[in-house]
Chain A
Amino acid sequence: DIQMTQSPSSLSASVGDRVSITCRASQYISTYLNWYQHKPGRAPKLLVFAASSLQTGVPSRFSGSGSGTDFTLTISALQAEDFATYYCQQSYSNFPTFGGGTKVEIK
């Protein structure tokens, strides 16, 4: 299995802050990396696919970068509706795997 390691596991931030979440793969995955947002009581939502492509309808304050083994999700100016848990997911192998999640909380 390809292991996906996210950091930090949680962070506290204020509205308007710039926030970055990193995801590291245990082996090379090219740009086969997706990011999801998950709020309590709701289904996860695809934000970014192929490491840096924004899913239709996702605000431009979200961006993704990276390739190979190291990836980053950045929220340029945190909004109230962005407080959630974020997961990376590799789609390189026949057995896709998720990272452990990063919970973004209000400071």
Chain B
Amino acid sequence: EVKLVQSGAEVKKPGESLKISCEASGYTFASYWIAWVRQMPGKGLEWMGIIYPGDSDARYSPSFRGQVTISTDKSISTAYLQWSSLKASDTAMYYCARRDPRSNGLDVWGPGTTVTVS
């Protein structure tokens, strides 16, 4: 079964750093782009960026460039989203999702990680 498992909920203070994870299983991790999507409380979905684990090519949406870092560790089939200095406005649900090259859609999603900054 193809699956993405995300790390658990986080409660942090403004200014703290954070790295959340997304572990893939059931497919060749290196061969599929992994995207990160934000949903702020009561709001819609926002595309943050995407990374190709095969060569760590990461691309960020303009709104998120410089605000977060996306990375992967192929040896453990895991993608990461990290912040160096959290703000209250980073409070949100964060989803990772696999992009299917056939459809260009996000066909497998993780359950989400809730990040609360307060």
Quick one: closest B residue to A103, CB to CB? B44
Provide the bound-state CA to CA distance between A41 and B100, in Å.
23
CB <8 Å contact, A53 and B104? no
The secondary structure that dominates the B interface is strand
> Which A residues are in CB contact (< 8 Å) with B100?
46, 49
User: Given A1-B62, A98-B46 in contact, is the A46-B103 Cβ separation under 8 Å?
Assistant: yes
Proximity bits, A74-96, B CB within 8 Å = 1, else 0: 00000000000101010100111
The segment from A10-18, A31-39, A65-73 found at the interface with B is: A31-39
CB <8 Å contact, B106 and A50? no
| B45 at interface by CB-CB < 8 Å | yes
Provide the bound-state CA to CA distance between A91 and B59, in Å.
14
CB <8 Å contact, A89 and B107? no
CB <8 Å contact, A34 and B103? yes
User: Given A43-B95, A43-B111 in contact, is the A101-B103 Cβ separation under 8 Å?
Assistant: no
User: Given A53-B103, A95-B61 in contact, is the A89-B47 Cβ separation under 8 Å?
Assistant: yes
CB <8 Å contact, A101 and B104? no
> Which A residues are in CB contact (< 8 Å) with B59?
94-95
Quick one: closest B residue to A95, CB to CB? B61
CB <8 Å contact, A46 and B44? no
Provide the bound-state CA to CA distance between A98 and B62, in Å.
14
CB <8 Å contact, B45 and A38? yes
| B66 at interface by CB-CB < 8 Å | no
Provide the bound-state CA to CA distance between A85 and B12, in Å.
29
Quick one: closest A residue to B96, CB to CB? A43
Provide the bound-state CA to CA distance between A43 and B62, in Å.
24
Measuring CB to CB, which residues of chain A are less than 8 angstroms from any residue of chain B?
A: 1, 32, 34, 36, 38, 42-46, 49-50, 53, 55, 85, 87, 89, 91, 94-101
